[in-house]
Amino acid sequence: MPYIGYFQAIYAVDKYILFDNVNYSKNVWINRNRLLMRDGAIVTTTVPLKGRSSFSKICELEIDNRQPWKGKYLKTVQKCYGKRPYFKEVFRVLSEMLEPEYELLRDLNNNTIVAIAHFLDIKTEIDYDISRFSELEEDLDNFGEGDDDIHYYQGRRPDRKVARIIEMCRMEGCDEYYNAIGGQSLYFKEEFMNYGIRLNFIKTNDFEYNQDSKSGEFVPNLSIIDVLMNNGKEGTKRLLQEYTLI
């Protein structure tokens, strides 16, 4: 249940690809997020995983369903937002999203992201059937060993993270790529333009809404669930437009 900036990125583009053939890292938010208690405390919710490591691909991660994480999560949501104006509607949608017995984290994340996007009437094509990229990582590993290698700008292959995106853009036939604002330290417009790709970063505008917290301090970048509980469907749809392209 990512923060609103994630859904702003989906809203802003023609096609959004949920690429999960990369290594898991404990520092990412792939299986956890934050909610806000009424007393102002931030609570981190987590989906338990089996045998995770830094060498595990995200698409291979299994959920540890021996732990009652669904019930715990829903109880936490109810405790945090049970008295919020849009609780009933959003909680119903959330409960329906969690009904299936997910075995893989990728299926849980993909299905809930798509369901929330549909709930918010986002028309963007969301693609998570990425089997056509299955050989991409191997091609990057073996670059320089075949006659069919891509001829990179000035004969030098970019950093792997950059090369991966350039190849994906080429495969999709696109000439414009949007990334979250945090990518400014990794990706550079000039480098992408060498390959005919215009790079933009999506920055969520500064805004606040009533979180009904006893602390009175607004906490940004929480799970989209916090936004929905406090703003409802229509209010959240308006906030989707509160971003700037840089």
Residues 6+ apart with CB under 8 A from 210: 230
How many separate domains does the chain show?
Answer: 1
pTM, two decimals, is: 0.91
pLDDT along the chain (246 residues), means of 10: 96 93 85 95 96 83 96 98 97 97 96 97 90 69 56 76 87 93 92 94 97 91 98 98 97
For residue 87, the enclosing domain spans: 4-245
The predicted structure's pLDDT at residue 96: 97
Residues 6+ apart with CB under 8 A from 53: 24
The predicted structure's pLDDT at residue 1: 94
